[in-house]
Amino acid sequence: MAKKIQVWAAYGPKIELGTTMTAEDIIENIIAATNQSKGSVLAVLSELDVQIEAGLKAGRIVRLPNGTRYEPIGKKDGSVDINVRASGELDKKVNASFRGKWLNSENVGKTEAELVARWNEEHPDDQLPVD
């Protein structure tokens, strides 16, 4: 018997990720935008990492000027995870003019029941109950 996770994996809309933007790409873009030297850009980015790490190690939430937020989350085993939340403004800007490619874009906005019905139609020997 099929599982709902198979339905979402097969038909769920998802973003086709492009090539990774490397650290070198980011540095070169910052250099071009600010006319700073590579050394000064690297120094600022390195110090930003140091300050974020210091704040998190002290158990503090770290909020950058652009609204991005880092929060240490304690786990039961005593280890710490770091939750990163991008600013709401960045979220709005990306959504307003997203140019990436969607896979299964025809299924954006469809309900789980609609996707299950499609699965059942295309997989008569591996049905899922419709809620």
* Residue boundaries of the structural domains of the chain: 1-18+109-131, 19-108
Q: What is the pLDDT of residues 59-89, one digit of tens each?
A: 999 999 999 999 999 999 999 999 999 999 9
What is the radius of gyration, based on Cα positions, of the chain? 22
Residue 70 CA to residue 53 CA, distance in Å, equals 10
Q: Does domain 19-108 have CATH number 4.10.520.10?
A: yes
How high is the pLDDT of residue 82? 98
Helix (H, G, I), strand (E, B) or coil at 67: coil
Q: Which residues of the chain have pLDDT under 50?
A: none
Task: Tell me whether residue 119 is exposed, middle or buried, using C-beta atoms within 10 angstroms of its C-beta: 0 to 12, 13 to 18, 19 or more.
Answer: buried
User: Which is it for strands 101-103 and 14-16: parallel, antiparallel or unpaired?
Assistant: antiparallel
Instruction: Give CA–CA dist 61/69, Å, rounded.
Output: 7
Residue 2 confidence (pLDDT): 76
Given this model, what pLDDT does residue 127 score?
86
